[in-house]
Amino acid sequence: MTEMKAVFFDRDGTLNPDPGYLRDPKLLSLYPGVLEGLSVLKGAGFKFFVVTNQSGVGRGLIQLAELEKIHFRLQALLEPSGTQIIDFGICPHLPQDQCTCRKPRPKLVLDLIEKWKISPRYSYFVGDKDVDILAGRNAGLKSVCLVRTGHGTQTEAMASGPKADFVGDGLLDIAHWIVSEDSQDS
């Protein structure tokens, strides 16, 4: 039996532009290269998961039902690549709530690993912020990648911030790097 390998993605700023507390599914769009990058990763046998902090829920700016509609729209946008997000890990809490599930804490990633029998040693985290890098590190994943979309360029420039194993201009760059890293394990 082969172990499931996965890529965990932050959502806003990584897969799609972040307009700030996205509430309208019609405003959701993908960054260039996302579909192509997911196709490359799918071809290498990866499964996809999203791990996202959504404090807009805790702030009362968006309801969970609206969030589900946004994720339904995301799945529809991914259809042309023949890929889907298997599952979503969502933290609806405010930063000051001190919950156990908000990134950079690894709970959402670890819960998905357990639920789906994912192998951390063959899995990756991709995001645009330091909390994404730390969530992947804290969950014990093989590698973490920073994408220069969203807040990625600013995150990369922070000299004191956590360092990613790879930094790419977009998801396609990162996908090629992950496949190259993965092939070294085969």
Domain containing residue 89: CATH number: 3.40.50.1000
The confidence score (pLDDT) of residue 186 equals 59
Task: Give a yes or no: residue 146 inside a domain.
Answer: yes
Task: Give a yes or no: residue 109 inside a domain.
Answer: yes
To the question of pTM greater than 0.85 for the whole model, the response is: yes
Task: Give a yes or no: residue 133 inside a domain.
Answer: yes
Task: Give a yes or no: residue 1 inside a domain.
Answer: no
Task: Give a yes or no: residue 32 inside a domain.
Answer: yes
The confidence score (pLDDT) of residue 185 equals 73
On whether the CB atoms of residues 40 and 179 are closer than 8 A, the answer is: yes
Task: Give a yes or no: residue 82 inside a domain.
Answer: yes
Task: Give a yes or no: residue 137 inside a domain.
Answer: yes
Say how far apart CA 139 and CA 156 lie, in whole Å.
Answer: 21
Say how far apart CA 36 and CA 30 lie, in whole Å.
Answer: 11
What's the token pair of residue 21? 């507390």
Residue in 10, 128, 130, 165 annotated catalytic: 10
Neighbours of 20 (CB within 10 A): 8
Q: Which residue segment(s) compose the domain that 84 sits in?
A: 6-185
What's the token pair of residue 90? 């969502």
87 labelled catalytic: no
12 labelled catalytic: yes
The candidate with the shortest Cα–Cα distance to 147, out of 119, 120, 177, is 177
Q: What is the mean pLDDT of each run of 10 residues along the chain (186 residues)?
A: 87 94 93 97 97 95 94 96 96 95 97 97 97 97 97 88 91 97 81
Task: Give a yes or no: residue 54 inside a domain.
Answer: yes
The confidence score (pLDDT) of residue 154 equals 94
What is the number of structural domains in the chain?
1
